[in-house]
Amino acid sequence: MFKLNRIGMDITVVYLFILLLLVSAPSLVNQLTSSDSAGTVMSLPFFLIYFFIFSYLPLTIAVFIYISLLSYAGTGIAKLLRRKIRFSILWKLNAYTTTIPFILYSIIAFFFSITDAFLVLFILYSFIFMFKMITVYPKRKKRP
């Protein structure tokens, strides 16, 4: 966790974009192979632009908002526990906690249809790890 903290925010954001591209791959393949989707009507370049605008971009925005809200809640928990962890550190660490759920989702989505229950498990997984990260950070020194 402390080694991940030394990684720059720019690398973290690029990592998240690549990870989200991996997550959206099953949907892209499904739309390209389905007989009643836009992938069969449009040419490939137009379909890729369409997919980027209406699938990848909203997914990216939703994940960034989710990570931000989770990190914001984490700063409140950190203040209650009197820990020395800031929003930017929590945001970066929460972005890295999404790796395992996203990879699992990508693998499972190629073979099965996934319900919203996976989303609840994903949120719970991230929250548990965020709480663990907060409790590992050292406490603030008491001011006289």
Statement: residue 34 has pLDDT above 80 = no
Q: Tell me what the mean pLDDT of segment 70-99 comes to.
A: 91
Write the DSSP string, 21-60: HHHHHHHHHHHHH-TTSHHHHS-HHHHHHHHIIIIIHHHH
Q: Tell me what the mean pLDDT of segment 49-63 comes to.
A: 91
Phi, psi of 82 (to 5 degrees): 55, 50
Judge contact between 122 and 70, C-beta under 8 A: no
Higher pLDDT, 17 or 44: 17
pTM, rounded to two decimals: 0.84
Q: Which of the four pLDDT bands, split at 50, 70 and 90, describes residue 74?
A: very high
Q: What is the pLDDT of residues 88-127, one digit of tens each?
A: 999 999 999 999 999 999 999 888 888 777 888 888 999 9
Q: What is the pLDDT of residue 125?
A: 93
Phi, psi of 29 (to 5 degrees): -65, -40
Q: What is the pLDDT of residue 84?
A: 83
